[in-house]
Amino acid sequence: MNAAGARASAAGARQRLASGIVALGLKVSDSAQDAMLRYLDELRAWNRAYNLTAVRDPAEMVIRHVLDALAILPWLETGSRLLDVGSGAGLPAVPLALAAPRLAVTALDSNGKKARFLRHVQRTLPLANLEVIEARVQDYRPAQAFPAVVSRAFAELGDFLRQTAQLVAEDGRWLAMKGKVSSAELESLPPGMRIEAIHPLHVPGLRAARSLVIVRREPRP
C-alpha cells in the first residue's frame, strides 16, 4: 500500500471507530481512541511475525476487535477488577482497559508470544491499569479472586466456568462473549451455577450474531 492509501486507510479506521463508539452509546475520550488505533497498529506490525490474528484489514480490525470488545462495557463495574482469560492479543482486555482507566484489567494467556506482545503494548501505550500474566488458567493463583472474569472464545461455556471457578469471587460474575448460544451449551452449566442474563450485543458493522452470557453462583441456602 502506498502512502496515500495508508493515510486513507488510517482515516477510515479512525472514522469507523468514532462512529462505532457513538452507535454503542459509549463515551470514550479522544486520547483513548487514539491509543486504540495505536494498539491496532502494533497488532498489525507484530502480526507479520507472530500471527496474532487472522483479521488483516484495518477497518475490519476496528469492528471485530475493538468495537466487539467495547460492546460489553455497559455491563462492567468500571471501578473494579476484571480478569480476561485466554486474552490472546489482548481482546477484550486492551480496548476495555483503554476505555475505562479506573478498571483494573488482568490479561491471562499461556502463549509466550502473545504475552510478549501484551507486555509490549502495556509499555508502549502505556497502560497502567493493565497487568499481563503468562500462565495456564489452571495454574494461576491470584492473591484475591476477581469480581468478574471475561472470556472471548476461550472455551465452551461449561468448560469456561469449570476452569475458572477458583478465580471468581463468591459473589462474582462470569461474562462469556459468544456468538449464537445453543441450548445444549446453556444446559452444560456445572452444579451450583445459574444464568443471570443473556444480552444480545449489536456491534456496529458486524453482521454476525453476538451475545453476552452472564453467570453467577447459586445463592447459598
46-63 per-position pLDDT tens digit: 998 888 888 888 889 999
The predicted model scores a pTM of: 0.93
Q: In this structure, what DSSP letter does residue 88 have?
A: T
Residue pair 194/207 in contact by the 8 Å Cβ criterion? no
Max Cα-Cα span within the chain: 66
- The pLDDT value recorded for residue 89 is 94
Domains of the chain and any CATH numbers? 3-217 (3.40.50.150)
Average pLDDT over residues 174-201: 93
Residue pair 115/132 in contact by the 8 Å Cβ criterion? yes
- Cα separation, 31 vs 52, whole angstroms: 25
Average pLDDT over residues 115-143: 97
Average pLDDT over residues 26-51: 94
Three-class SS state of 189: coil
Residue 6 has pLDDT above 70, yes or no: no
- Contacts for 56-64: CB closer than 8 Å, 24+ residues apart: 58/9, 58/10, 58/12, 58/13, 59/9, 59/12, 59/13, 59/16, 59/205, 61/13, 62/13, 62/16, 62/17, 62/20, 62/205, 63/16, 63/20, 63/203, 63/204, 63/205, 63/206, 64/206
Residue 188 has pLDDT above 90, yes or no: no
- The pLDDT value recorded for residue 76 is 97
- The pLDDT value recorded for residue 18 is 97
Weakest mean pLDDT among 78-87, 136-145, 154-163: 154-163
Task: Place 214 in a pLDDT band, splitting at 50, 70 and 90.
Answer: very high
144-177 per-position pLDDT tens digit: 999 999 999 788 999 999 999 999 999 999 999 9
Task: Place 3 in a pLDDT band, splitting at 50, 70 and 90.
Answer: very low
State the sign of the Cα–Cα–Cα–Cα dihedral 151, 213, 205, 28.
negative
Report residue 17 as a C-alpha cell. 471507530
Q: What are phi and psi of 192, to 5 degrees?
A: 85, 5
- The pLDDT value recorded for residue 9 is 63
